[in-house]
Structures are given as structure tokens and as C-alpha cells.
Amino acid sequence: MQIKASSVMASISLLLLAAAIFSFSSAGYIALKANIAQYLLNRSWLDNSASTHLKSKPWPWADIYPVAKLTFERLDIAQIVVNNDSGQALAFAPGFNDFYEIHDNKIFADVFVISAHNDTHFSVLESLRLNDKVTLTFKSGYAQQLTVKDISVIDTKEESLVVEGEQSAFDENDNKEQYIQELILVTCYPFSGGNTQNSFLRYIVKLT
């Protein structure tokens, strides 16, 4: 049996690619994992059979699930957002802060806080400008476009992010009752690519 040279070259290329992946720096591995996770989360998001169910997991053992999609209109970038912003969750996707609660498809908030790492998903925040449009779409298909109104940096040693707004409940599947008063996007600062794990600075983007 003859083996085509093209097949051999393809196999060698795959091996070289695998070697390159394993030789990535820690930052490269994190970025790769974040991108693969977004692909799997998007598949779960697009699963029509789960379109009205919030807890459609991207992989069987996952403790996260897609809740919404963020679309940065001018930059043509879309990201799936998961149900919490624990350290483990943020390795895979942007996540809603604990201020946001979900119970039986009912959402309890009119101010939403989403956070992500600045070297993966929310590196995009550095490119946002005042008056840029960002669309938040829920699993039900309800979407609301918001506008960047303020961009700031706070030092969490001296001040904290204050979320104001009444806690109101609405059904995630009932488009008529939904309205987002404010959306706040948060990430670590600066965006230098250095180690910001212990940074007390936060980059805040507010949209209304």
C-alpha cells in the first residue's frame, strides 16, 4: 500500500502544530483554552433544542453554561457570556457577576456586571470608544443595544465598584418585560500584557 506524500506531510504538519501548542508559554495556553471554550460555548448557544433552557452545558462535566452573548458592533466581535464570574469560569468566557441571579429563567437585576480577563476575552475593552454600540442578547433571543457612556480606571484599594439600581425580576423568555438599565464591563488594568494577577486596578466600561 502506497502512502501519498501529501498525507505524510499533513501528518508531519499536525505533529509540528501539536508540538508548537505544547511549547506555548502559559499565556499562549490560556488564550488557546479561551478560544476553544468559546467555540464549544457557541455550539451550546446555537443548540435550538436548548434555546429556551439556560443550563445547556458546553461539555458534560462543565459547571458553567451560556446565558447571553455580547456583540461589540464596531469591532465585529461576539462573545458568549456564562452564568458566573468565578476564577474557574473566567478561564473560559466572560461571566456575570453575583449581583445577577437566575432562578427558573427569571432574572433579578436591571444593572448587569460582566467581567473577564484582560489578556483574553476582555482585551477588546482597550479598543472600545465612547459612543460605541454593544449588544447584549439573551438565550431567549431578546437583544438590547447599549452605548458606551463612560470609561474609567478605579483602584480597588481606595474605592469599590458601586452598582446602583433596583432589583427587579423579569422572565428571561418574556421579551416584553425585559429592559437593561445599565451594563458594566470590568477587567484588570493595565493592558500591558504583564502580570496583573495581583493588580488592584480595574478598567470599567459603563453602557446605557
Instruction: Give domain limits for the chain.
Output: 5-207
Higher pLDDT among residues 109 and 121, named by residue = 121
- pLDDT band, residue 23 (cuts 50/70/90): very low
Report the alpha-carbon distance of residue 164 to residue 195 in Å, rounded.
31
Q: pLDDT (tens digit, 9 = 90+) per residue, 129-143?
A: 999 999 999 877 889
Note the pLDDT tens digit of each residue in 161-205.
766 655 555 555 554 556 788 999 999 999 975 555 668 899 999
Domain 5-207 is of which CATH architecture?
Beta Barrel (2.40)
Q: Closest Cα partner for 34 from 113, 135, 122?
A: 122
The pTM assigned to this predicted structure is 0.75
pLDDT of residue 155: 94
**Strand intervals (E) in the chain:** 66-72, 77-82, 95-96, 101-103, 106-108, 111-115, 133-138, 143-155, 169-171, 182-188, 201-207
The band of 49, judged by pLDDT with boundaries at 50, 70 and 90, is very low
Summarised one tens digit per residue, pLDDT across range 59-92 is: 888 888 898 999 999 999 999 999 889 888 999 9
Indicate the residue type of 28: G
Average pLDDT of every residue of the chain = 78
Model pLDDT, residue 35? 80
